[in-house]
């Protein structure tokens, strides 16, 4: 305990020194910030009232996880592969209610949104498809073996401390092997308990707004002992979601339109979770229980003269998991972590108007997954570290439908990684070995797969006094065919090969503090190329009324991602933040030169897109403006005028104020105007998004 208290005092002293340095913008930001390599990933330690470093290079890097001002920016600048972060403070300025809304502000991200709060939302990074993007919740992946895509509309922002997106791979090599197994990883980090004078604190919040939105939530953190703490969080969301939109007829001219009301957009969600944290000076861990249920309508396409009958599909979801993390350090050279999870999910889909009035389509699916992972980090030298991770999991899909098989997949993942870091260079390398075996109920032969996936990255800092870096990475990765791809009715194809991807990236990053009035300028620019082979697509058979899954496509993707952030402090009581992202994405189908769509842009991939944000913070109020924009896209493979989906601009504005109450309590209000210009644009063709809407929030922090 004495060692722990000494370490805590040292942390506090160094935090004060670092804050003073930021305020007066003294010398080089870096100093000795990377003099030692990572040691371990410390998960959400309640006794330190913050999340400790996930890669312990030096003590100053650990402080990057604690410092309030711009710590995430320096972390993204140092990364050898593109890393984007939105902290809880930054999330307040992007006018988002769900994770899906917030990540639209990351460069290179495409969120396929079918409209409204209840519409499905999936994320694709650099045009690789949603199946190539992993989603991790507090460091442990969320998996959907049935279709390979995670519907991120289920995640609220009420209990989120940080969102981060890693392209290629994170520099944090001390992690489960599953984190190495995707082209990109979206990490969702929830709020860890933080205590000051009181052993209990929390936040009670109510959101309401247009289209019947009601969204109460409660977060409570309690300190049980010096080593144990507990957080409990829950929310309920309800909305009828019926918003007006303008329906164009014929050729889309304004003289043939009607105002319609979006149908079947209601949603009722319930999410609860509880987490028990434990930590001392050498070990830490948590045990988390999570439950989510939802009933929602799936808004259909806007069909001319018939907007009712084609919007009747409904879906019921239930998901529950129990996951745990344990970590222990053995001095400065050795660390071990163990992760485990059991996940259950239930999906009930109903289309009462399937094939018109002749019948209905109803499906029920149950997914089970058991997962365990162990990682060992060894640091033989001050600047060199190695990690060995072994994961194993079993996933199964069952359904009462007699026409569908019951598959089970056994998977083993082994990752070996190394990292070297000093003041001038950071480099990482890894190899992931994947072995899978599928077993199905009809006892027929299935393919056993084994594949090795290499990765290497490097970042070089050529100047001592300027935090400017050149970075590059290469990664070979793949995605396995999902259960739907292989076994779904007559559509599935058991002979499918994995869809492989080669990723190349070359980038520049810069972070600089000019004066105390301009404390931060952070810029990054990356050019990339992705080569996708054996792309899995649905393809019509000789009978045009049936489809099958084939390794048919090859896609060549070349692009550029830019991000920029500026902080301005004209006086002590005024802070101005500006940010922008820009993406150029040339994603071409290069499957067959004889095809009519050869070298055409792949569907729903804008050539250019981006985002912007601006915030003003004063002691009296805070104003935030955010912008999402996209160029035109094409709804199908052939880039003809009749298939074009027009681009859009989505502007939002918010104002907030927080009142100080007795006993260090705080009361806050926030008013938002979304889609300020009232444009019913489409992300997916014939699925119009809401026009102008309003949202209000009131909360009490205690």
Beta strand spans in 240-299 (E): 244-248, 257-261, 267-279, 283-298
Give the structural domain span for 182. Answer: 2-701
The more confident residue out of 306 and 522 is 522
Among the ranges given (77-91, 114-128, 402-416), the one the predictor scored with the smallest mean pLDDT: 114-128
pLDDT over 50 at 324, yes or no: yes
pLDDT value of residue 120: 74
CB 575 within 8 A of CB 567: yes
Task: Return the residue matching tokens 């709020």.
Answer: 191
| pLDDT of res. 240 | 92
Phi, psi of 102 (to 5 degrees): -70, -40
Residue 306's pLDDT band, with cuts at 50, 70 and 90, is: low
| Confidence band for 698, pLDDT divided at 50, 70 and 90 | very high
pLDDT value of position 459: 97
Using only C-alpha atoms, the chain has a radius of gyration, in whole angstroms, of 25
Q: What is the pLDDT of residues 594-615, one digit of tens each?
A: 989 999 999 999 999 999 999 9
Q: Is 19's pLDDT higher than 50?
A: no
Residue 161 in contact with residue 194, Cβ under 8 Å?
no
Of 310 and 175, the structure prediction assigns the larger pLDDT to: 175
Least confident of 121-130, 252-261, 569-578: 252-261
User: Is pLDDT at 10 greater than 90 in this prediction?
Assistant: no
Q: Which of 95-104, 136-145, 222-231, 321-330 has the lowest mean pLDDT?
A: 95-104
Contact 526, 507 (CB under 8 A): yes
50 has a pLDDT exceeding 80: no
In tens, the pLDDT along 369-398 reads 999 999 999 999 999 999 999 999 999 999
Q: State the pLDDT at residue 356.
A: 54
Is the pLDDT at 307 greater than 90? The verdict is no
Residue 630 has pLDDT above 50, yes or no: yes
Residue-level pLDDT at 57: 33
Bridge partners (DSSP) of residue 111 are 123
The predicted model scores a pTM of 0.85
Check residue 95 and give its pLDDT.
Answer: 82
Count up the domains in the chain and report the number. 1
CA within 13 Å, CB half, 401: 17
Q: Which residues of 433-446 are buried (b: 16+ CB within 10 A; e: fewer)?
A: ebebebebeeeeeb
CA angle 404–407–413, rounded 5-degree value: 150
300 pLDDT tier (thresholds 50, 70, 90): confident
Residue 161, pLDDT > 80, answer yes
108 neighbors 125 (Cβ within 8 angstroms):
yes
- Better-scored residue on pLDDT, 505 or 353: 505
pLDDT of residue 304: 66
Q: Please answer whether residues 455 and 169 qualify as being in contact, where contact means their C-beta atoms are separated by less than 8 angstroms.
A: yes
Token readout for 519 is 């404390």
Residue bearing tokens 């160094």:
14
CA distance 524 to 82: 8
Bridge partners of residue 615, in order along the sequence: 577, 624
Looking at residue 8, its pLDDT comes to 37
Q: CATH number of the domain that 419 lies in? A: 2.40.170.20
The pLDDT score that the predictor gives to residue 548 is: 81
**Between 468 and 196, the higher pLDDT residue:** 468
Q: Per-residue DSSP letters for 324-366?
A: EEEEEEETTTEEEEEEEEEEEEEEEEEETTTTTTT--EEEEEE
Residues 453-464 pLDDT 10s:
999 999 999 998
**Cα–Cα distances in angstroms (integers) from residue 413 to residues 323, 334, 393, 404, 625, in the given order:** 18, 22, 9, 28, 44
Mean pLDDT of the chain: 85
Tell which residue, 243, 236, 234, has the closest CA to residue 119: 243
Across 538-551, average pLDDT: 69
pLDDT at 360: 79
Lowest mean pLDDT among 73-82, 472-481, 502-511: 73-82
**pLDDT tens column, 123-152:** 899 999 889 999 999 999 998 888 888 888
Whether 274 shows a pLDDT value over 90: the answer reads yes
Burial of 139 from C-beta contacts in 10 A (0-12 / 13-18 / 19+): buried
* Statement: residue 440 has pLDDT above 70: yes
* H, E, C per residue of 457-518: EEEECCCCCCEEEEEEEEEEEEECCCHHHHHCCCCCCCCCCCEEEEEEEEEEEEEECCECCE
């Amino acid at each position: 305990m004495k060692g722990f208290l000494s370490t805590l005092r040292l942390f506090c002293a160094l935090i004060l020194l670092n804050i003073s340095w930021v305020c007066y913008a003294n010398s080089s930001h870096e100093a000795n910030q990377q003099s030692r390599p990572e040691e371990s990933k410390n998960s959400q330690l309640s006794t330190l009232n913050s999340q400790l470093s996930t890669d312990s290079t030096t003590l100053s890097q650990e402080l990057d996880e604690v410092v309030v001002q711009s710590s995430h920016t320096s972390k993204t600048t140092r990364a050898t592969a593109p890393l984007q972060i939105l902290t809880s403070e930054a999330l307040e300025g992007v006018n988002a209610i769900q994770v899906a809304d917030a990540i639209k502000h990351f460069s290179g991200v495409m969120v396929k949104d079918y409209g409204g709060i209840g519409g499905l939302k999936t994320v694709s990074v650099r045009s690789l498809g949603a199946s190539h993007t992993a989603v991790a919740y507090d460091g442990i992946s969320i998996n959907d073996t049935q279709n390979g895509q995670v519907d991120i509309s289920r995640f609220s922002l009420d209990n989120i401390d940080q969102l981060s997106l890693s392209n290629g791979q994170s520099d944090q090599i001390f992690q489960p092997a599953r984190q190495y197994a995707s082209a990109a990883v979206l990490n969702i980090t929830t709020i860890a308990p933080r205590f000051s004078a009181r052993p209990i604190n929390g936040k009670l919040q109510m959101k309401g707004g247009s289209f019947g939105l009601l969204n109460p939530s409660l977060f409570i953190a309690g300190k049980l002992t010096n080593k144990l703490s507990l957080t409990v969080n829950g929310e309920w969301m309800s909305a009828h979601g019926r918003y007006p939109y303008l329906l164009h007829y014929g050729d889309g001219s304004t003289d043939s339109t009607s105002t319609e009301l979006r149908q079947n957009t209601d949603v009722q969600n319930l999410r609860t979770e509880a987490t028990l944290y434990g930590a001392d000076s050498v070990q830490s861990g948590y045990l988390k229980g999570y439950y989510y249920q939802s009933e929602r309508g799936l808004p259909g396409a806007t069909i001319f003269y018939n907007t009712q009958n084609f919007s009747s599909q409904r879906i019921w979801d239930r998901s529950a998991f129990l996951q745990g993390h344990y970590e222990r350090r053995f001095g400065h050279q050795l660390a071990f972590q163990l992760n485990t999870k059991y996940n259950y999910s239930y999906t009930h889909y109903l289309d009462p108007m399937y094939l018109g009035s002749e019948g209905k389509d109803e499906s029920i699916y149950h997914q089970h997954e058991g997962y365990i992972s162990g990682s060992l980090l060894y640091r033989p030298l001050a600047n060199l570290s190695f990690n060995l991770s072994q994961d194993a999991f079993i996933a199964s899909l069952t359904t009462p439908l007699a026409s569908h098989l019951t598959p089970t997949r056994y998977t083993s993942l082994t990752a070996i990684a190394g990292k070297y870091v000093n003041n001038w260079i950071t480099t990482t390398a890894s190899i992931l070995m994947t072995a899978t075996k599928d077993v199905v109920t009809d006892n027929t032969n299935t393919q056993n797969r084994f594949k090795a996936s290499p990765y290497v990255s490097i970042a070089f800092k050529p100047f001592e006094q300027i935090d400017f870096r050149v970075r590059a990475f290469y990664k070979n990765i793949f995605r396995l065919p999902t259960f739907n791809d292989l076994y779904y009715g007559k559509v599935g194809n058991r002979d499918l090969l994995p869809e492989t991807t080669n990723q190349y990236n070359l980038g520049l990053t810069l972070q600089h503090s000019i004066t105390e009035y301009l404390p931060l300028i952070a810029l990054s620019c990356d050019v990339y190329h992705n080569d996708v082979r054996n792309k899995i697509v649905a393809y019509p058979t000789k009978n045009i009324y049936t489809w099958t899954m084939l390794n048919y496509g090859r896609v060549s993707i070349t692009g550029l991602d830019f991000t920029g952030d500026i902080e301005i402090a004209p006086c002590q009581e005024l802070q101005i933040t500006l940010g922008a992202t820009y993406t150029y994405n040339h994603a071409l189908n290069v499957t067959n030169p004889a095809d009519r769509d050869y070298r055409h842009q792949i569907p729903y991939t804008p050539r250019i897109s981006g985002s912007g944000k601006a915030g003003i913070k004063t002691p009296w109020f805070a104003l935030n403006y955010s912008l999402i924009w996209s160029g035109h896209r094409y709804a199908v493979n052939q880039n003809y005028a009749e298939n074009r989906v027009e681009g859009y601009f989505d502007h939002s504005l918010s104002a907030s104020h927080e009142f100080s109450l007795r006993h260090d309590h705080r009361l806050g209000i926030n008013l938002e105007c979304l889609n300020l210009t009232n444009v019913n644009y489409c992300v997916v063709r014939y699925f119009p998004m809401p026009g102008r809407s309003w949202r209000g929030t009131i909360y009490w922090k205690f």
